[in-house]
Amino acid sequence: MDIEDRKEDSVSVEYSPNRPDFCSEAGIARSLVGQLGIETGLPKYEFLQGPIRIDVKGPEIRSVRPYVFSLHASLQVSDEVIKQVIVMQEDLHNGLGRHRAKVAIGIHNAEMVKPPIKYLATNDRSYSFVPLGSSEKMTIEQILENTEQGKKYGGFLSGGLFPLLIDSSGNTLSMPPVINGELTRLKPGVRAIFIDVTATEKRAGETTIAIIASMLSDIGAKVESVSVKNEDGSIRITPDMMPETMRFDLNLTNEILGLELGYGEAKFALENSRLELMSQDQARIPKFRSDIMHPIDLVEEVELGYGVSKLKPLQTKSHLTGSLTEKTKRLRNLIDVLVGLSLTQIESLSLTSRRELALDQEEGLRVEDPKSQSYEFLRNQVLPSLLGVLGQSTHEEYPQRIFEQLPIFRKSASVETQVLEEEHVAVAIADSMANYTQARSALDAFLRLALGTNDEVVVSPAFDSEGILADGRTASISIAKGKTRAQIGKIGEVSPQVLHQLGLEVPVAAFELNLDPLLNE
């Protein structure tokens, strides 16, 4: 964690979003006592089963938020407890919960809850209850249209089904992920808390309720589990605090860290990180550590438990010095030329989303098991990236003259890997006066300065198969070397349909080039 500020009796820290268990002071303390050697090894949580039961009713709920998790905790609720719980709730909503789209948390005064509780979905927009912050009943329709929470989170329920948690007295506890009921508002002096977690993804819900349960237990609450009776009659006990197991690779650990640790030393280091090594190759991980997904993550935990300050940099034994390849030097020179033409460089990743890739209407290379929909495909063009930037910069002054250089990837049977990698550059000019002539002027200047040879540049009318450039305002770009001619790109004006799709109200002229023929001369 980064220390942001230090005062006499407090320290402000910033934690990484991949450690959601650091969303409370108790979670940070739990890790800290391990690093300091005060309390090491796997934290153990065993909760008695309480009297509360949730009954899942009807198949409709499966299509909205199919998973529900819960707990009951007895403790004296103070202003400080409420503050900690609310901060934890918001952090989990924004991180693991993806702003409530994936996970939503409801915190209630358990003294007002009469079990058993029904979890169901309704399509009746006239159904009413008193929402949090109100003194009168409101229909679902009114909540969605007139409350801040309804306007902000109601879009997650666009399918017309609305999840509800209703106790045996008919009181509505919550309409996740939008709003709780006023009846169970948490106040100082309350002696028990009931928490519900609804989710669209099982693992995210399990992690969230485990984080909450461990936090409450660590601050002294008596946590009790809740039974969830599924529609098929099966019973699930929540929270499930059973540790998970993962393969531990000692050789990989030593190779990555440059150490020669034995089994006992690795075990000691993992225990300092509040994990457990059961055997030579099996580690146990707490349920709330959702960030540990791969054996390399265990290497990092060994590093932290061993002590980063104890790692000593090793001097390389090679007498050779590194240098840029000739291709890289030429590439940098080409970029300098574009900067010299008063173009602004942007930088993005070679990974992109399905939405942006759809601009070029071509099947892309998808990453196996992507961790984010924003980085799901390898780029096969640069121009869609530039147009995406222009679409997000409509509030900025014009003209906007930008370029980007990065590798693109195509399927190809002509190479061993079946994936062809090429260095591309694209230029886009957005302005009320932008047209083909402006793009052609920038292209001619770039090629004249970049080539530095007598190679002939041939620009011929063409059709843009991807549909980005307008028909009749598009041309292909080729380099003629003697009797041979190699096509290296395309140039033209962006079609009105694409401009409308991106929300652009000014014309855009652009070109994209494959730089490999220029770099390999």
Query: What is the per-residue DSSP string for 99-122?
Result: TTTSEEEEEEEGGG--SSEEEEEE
| Residue 436 is assigned to a structural domain of this protein | yes
CA-based nearest residue to 43, from 290, 225, 289, 246 = 289
pLDDT of residue 114: 95
Q: Which of 274, 307, 340 is the last residue of a domain?
A: 307
- Please give the Cα distance from 188 to 76 (Å, whole number): 8
pLDDT in tens, the chain (521 residues): 889 899 998 899 998 888 999 999 999 999 999 999 999 999 999 999 988 999 999 888 988 999 999 999 999 999 999 999 999 999 999 989 999 999 999 999 999 999 999 999 999 999 999 999 999 999 999 999 999 999 999 988 878 899 999 999 999 999 999 999 999 999 999 999 999 999 999 999 999 999 999 999 999 999 999 999 998 889 999 999 999 999 999 999 999 999 999 999 999 999 999 999 987 789 999 999 989 999 999 999 999 999 999 988 877 777 788 888 888 888 888 899 999 999 999 988 888 877 766 555 456 788 877 767 777 888 888 898 899 899 888 888 999 999 999 998 888 888 888 888 889 999 999 999 999 999 999 998 988 887 765 677 888 888 776 678 888 888 988 888 767 778 889 999 999 988 988 888 999 999 999 988 877 75
Q: Are residues 139 and 268 in the same domain?
A: no
Q: Which of 238, 266, 299 is the last residue of a domain?
A: 238
Strand 48-56 and strand 222-229: the pairing is parallel
Q: Are residues 229 and 250 in the same domain?
A: no
pLDDT of residue 465: 66
Q: Which residues lie closer than 8 Å to 487 by C-beta, 6 or more apart?
A: 476, 477, 478
Q: What is the CATH number of the domain that holds 502?
A: 3.30.930.10
356-399 tens-digit pLDDT: 665 554 567 888 777 677 778 888 888 988 998 998 888 889 99
pLDDT of residue 6: 93
Q: Are residues 405 and 467 in the same domain?
A: yes
Q: What is the CATH number of the domain that holds 273?
A: 3.30.56.10
In this structure, the number of other CB atoms found within 10 A of the CB of residue 61 comes to: 21
**CB contact at 8 A, 487 and 477:** yes
Domain that holds residue 255: 244-307
Q: Are residues 510 and 412 in the same domain?
A: yes
- Please give the Cα distance from 349 to 427 (Å, whole number): 17
- Please give the Cα distance from 221 to 213 (Å, whole number): 9
- Please give the Cα distance from 384 to 287 (Å, whole number): 41
Q: Are residues 414 and 297 in the same domain?
A: no
Q: Which of 307, 338, 354 is the last residue of a domain?
A: 307
| Residue 22 is assigned to a structural domain of this protein | no
pLDDT of residue 452: 65
Q: Are residues 284 and 161 in the same domain?
A: no
- Residue 450, sorted as left (phi over 0), alpha (psi -120 to 50) or beta, turns out to be alpha
Q: Are residues 380 and 514 in the same domain?
A: yes
Q: Per DSSP, what are the bridge partners of residue 54?
A: 117, 228
Q: Are residues 301 and 374 in the same domain?
A: no
pLDDT of residue 25: 92
**CA distances, 33 to each of 28, 102, 456 (Å):** 9, 32, 70
Q: Are residues 381 and 351 in the same domain?
A: yes
Q: How many domains does the chain have?
A: 3
Q: Are residues 464 and 412 in the same domain?
A: yes
Name the 3-class secondary structure at 299. helix
- Please give the Cα distance from 486 to 480 (Å, whole number): 6
Name the 3-class secondary structure at 349. coil
Residues in the chain: 521
**CA distances, 354 to each of 347, 361, 384, 388, 460 (Å):** 19, 10, 12, 13, 31
Name the 3-class secondary structure at 427. strand
**Can you spell out the DSSP letters for 23-37?**
SSHHHHHHHHHHHTT
Q: Are residues 458 and 412 in the same domain?
A: yes
